[in-house]
Amino acid sequence: MNPQLIVSSLILLAGIIYFTFPYVYKRFFQRPVLTIEIEPNKGITMSRRHLGYAPENDFSQPVNRPEVYSFYEVTWKFDLVIRNNSPYDSYQIELFYSGLKNGTLNFNSKVNQNKPLAKHAEILVPFEYNLTTKIQHKDIKTLDVKEPKEFADIEMILTYKNEKKTRFNTTFNMKTKELKYNKVSSKKIKKKGANKV
């Protein structure tokens, strides 16, 4: 084989790599890394309100007995923090949640998809979790918890892009507080029945 041809081929290959590597690197490896945290809201973070007595109680007896059932509305207040832990800006951010079986999540603000999240910046999204439950008076203290047990089923999903429009994801398990950065397709988000915030 001709040594000049080998050298020319190697130089050509090196040139192609030299000029395509920055494009590939910017497109697929320069990615923003968005994290999610749940923090208790400032001030009163949990409240409960007595709604009334359950109809199955024996009303011929006093209603302040430990075995009497009552309905309560319980509200927990939190701040969801979306933080960009990278030196790259993030674009077209969308937040979804799935797995909510009981109660309601009410977000006091929305994530603006048209507003980029700058490097090392954060977005604060206050929200409330409301639950109406029936409980015996003797068990009322079981409601006084930092986070409701129903959080065990909820997953938060972030979708976002880098400046080259490559899509990335962050998933957050509300029970374990574990973050994952695996790709989640739009089809899978719809299949999970996710709600957009």
Question: So what's the pLDDT on residue 21?
Answer: 59
Question: So what's the pLDDT on residue 134?
Answer: 95
Angstrom distance (rounded) from CA 88 to CA 15? 27
- Kind plus residue range of the DSSP H or E element containing 20: helix 3-28
Question: So what's the pLDDT on residue 91?
Answer: 96
The tens digit of pLDDT for each residue in 16-25 reads: 776 775 666 5
Angstrom distance (rounded) from CA 177 to CA 156? 10
Does residue 101 come out as left (phi exceeding 0), alpha (psi in the -120 to 50 range) or beta?
Answer: alpha
Question: So what's the pLDDT on residue 52?
Answer: 94
> DSSP secondary structure string, 55-79?
TTS-TTS-TTSTT-EEEEEEEEEEE
Question: So what's the pLDDT on residue 67?
Answer: 94
Instruction: Give the tokens for residue 115.
Output: 């507003």
Give 177's Cβ-side CA count (13 Å radius): 6
Beta bridge partners of 134: 71
Residue 132 — φ and ψ, nearest 5°?
A: -105, 125
Would you list the domain boundaries of the chain? Answer: 1-30, 31-196
Question: So what's the pLDDT on residue 25?
Answer: 57
pLDDT along the chain (197 residues), means of 10: 77 74 62 92 86 92 92 95 95 94 92 94 95 94 90 94 92 93 89 86
Instruction: Give the tokens for residue 30.
Output: 């320069």
Architecture of the domain defined by 31-196: Sandwich (2.60)
Rg (CA), the chain: 26
Residue with tokens 């979790």, as numbered in its chain: 129
State the CB neighbour count (10 A cutoff) for residue 6: 10
